Chains A and B, each alone.
Chain A
Amino acid sequence: MTQKKDETITTEVISRLDELFGDEKVAGDSEELFTPQGEPETEPEPIANNESPQPDQPDTHQSSSRELKPAEASKNPFSELDAIVLSIEWEITDEIMKSFIDEVNRLKALYRNDKLISMFLQLHGTIGKYISTNKAQSHPDSIRLLNSAYSGMKSVLSSPEMPDAEKKKLLAAEVKKTKELKKKILLGKSTASSFNQSATSTAPPTSANASETLVKAERSKMALEQAVEEIKATVRAEIASLKKDLKAIMSNL
């Protein structure tokens, strides 16, 4: 019966192939020599299949190759931060983010008398902490903002002849972007939060002024994020299920 099945399948496949490659005539049937038995050679020992894999993790042994020594005297006090920012471009790990924040703090101490640079560094610290806490859940714009703020700061540092007004303008631009990002993040959270509220039928939070909301959001950040994730998953599953039902209905029509 198995052989019969084989033959039927083979016939079907061959006729399909004939349709597809039709104007080629099949040469007079060459010897059907193939039989599954035949003295097999001594089979080689089954070779153990591939070694256990190492799925890609950003948390590898290969972190920043530079060793970071605080308060290291160097020609360019920003050379360490340069290296760290470059390595963030390649990989974001706890270790790298910690180095980033430590280095920012070190530079803050060094530049405590320079208000402008201090404020730039303050921005870096805020963004760095956000990315460090949220990692994969960070808003994609946060990395862009980090690079942009860094680039702005470097412009100021590399142009001592730049008028103060222009320097302040650069800083203001970065501060504005930071505020906009914060709004985006909060908007995302409060949307999810109100979703949560309606699901659990508790009163929605009164929208106080921005800084108050910021403080509140930061306090319950972790719990909120978890709730957001759960809700997202539920909504997605529901939508997927609805889509499927719809498809089934359409195909039955």
Chain B
Amino acid sequence: MNQDEPTAAALRWEMDTKHSLRQRIAEALDRLSSKKKVNHGVYLAGVAVFFALILLPPILGILINWNLMQQVFVAPDLMSQALAAIQNSFIIALFVSAIDIVTAIPLAWLIARKRARWINILDTLSDIPFIVPTVALGYSLLLFWNGVEGISALFSGPLVSPGWVLIILLHFTFSYPVVVRVVVGALLDYKREYENAARTLGAPPLTAARTVTFPIIKTSLIAAFILAFSRSLSETGATQMVAGLFENGSLFILRIQNTYVGATVFASSVLIAVAVLIFVIVRFLGPKLKLPVDRTWPSFDRKLSYVTAERSRNSVTLVIFFAIVLLPSLFVALPAFESVVTPTLGQALSGTGIWTEYWQGLILSYVVATVATILNVVIGLPTAILVARRKFGKLPSGILDLLVNIPLVVPSVALGFSLRIFWKQTFTFIPDLLLLVFAHMAITYPYFVRSMSAAVERIGMDLEEASRTLGAKPLGTFRTIIVPLTKYSIFSGAILMFTRSVSETGATTAVATQLRTAPVVLVDWVPRLGVQKIPATPLEIGLGCGLLILLSFIILLALRIIVRGKGRY
């Protein structure tokens, strides 16, 4: 034996002294976790917190103010305004998500299937609009489509004025990357052997995709649709910037929430009810929906399958991506860079004038996002495992899975409003800051539980069982098997929550009128029809957006470096 090598006993002794306290605590917790009551208690507590903090308050907020709704029924004018606004929300959300799916599939296909160096760059670029906070995106689009320096410079007047067209462009821009991401993931997971089988049986590429690939990845397409749909329904701040006189459900609630509580309750409950209804229908009837696989058009599919058709399809896809999504998203860089060479940057950094509230807002944004993220990771983990492992049976887990997704589809203004009226009426002295954290937790919670439960589901039950047969207690198994294997998903889930929270405006405005986060401040800076607010110059707004984007990039980059190479097996 080598002299330098410590003996097993010495190693053991060293470990014993080094980690004795940590070890002993861990062992005690491990032992505790093998008690059935404790084990179930942890899961039940996770579910209880989910119900108490996230799911029930908005619903109860509406229910305890149910009778106020009479206000609306005696004011037909208000009623028709509310209904029209809500209708606008759903029409735009459905339209945008449909367009998203149709246009995102070719880009996702290109990213997932083509092997070339530039594809990696395209892959990274496609994430950019996703990282840019939506208000910055809104302002960027406003400048690009409507400002004198944007695309409109090519025409005599503004190309697209604020209104529903610009809203559709905006919603398309921020939901498109989400859809691309989901479809790319689905295509990468998909076993290509099915498509190969179809090809050897005589199906041209397009037929194979239409009859085999898409039906198999249909659940992912539905998930992508629901994500795009709910993001469009929820977005408020950026929508406000580009809406002009046009009003959707969220903007209607924002306008009247302090004057007509009854109408707000009405609008909120209709928005929530219809959103949940559509979600449930799409989720349950979607998988039963038959794509047109029974029909084949051999010669037509053949024509669309081959080289020239594929090239033109790819060109159109890239043009859409660069001209409608990427370029407008980054257009705000123009005034942001311009401001750097003017005194604006100095004023901003010194924090004088309007910049005081900007920096305060920024700090508030990051504090709220951090707290909400950490709390959600803690309370979301048991629920995620419960959903993935069906601990309490198939049906309860299925129902829980459905309920977890509900905050996702509920428009955030409605959620924020009902959350506020619930807490303010039950605990009058609840601080606004806590309310803000609750609201952000409710909005971001589904993002974490979804990505986490999917990750746990991918870990074979056999690994857990192996660990148990080797003597690990339930908590030990969690620490040594689940956490190391899902580390990447925990981080990416946390990043999703964090960015979503920093972007959030609707619920923030609805829940706390005095606390203004950075994106809310930026929305107020943009001059809007009929609203007199703090005057800010385009350079200042551009710089404000630019700083917000820059900080988001830095944080994401830092997180990416921290988790790089970890947890991918």
Partners in one complex: no
Instruction: Write the residues of chain A forming the contact surface with B, with a CB cutoff of 8 angstroms.
Output: none
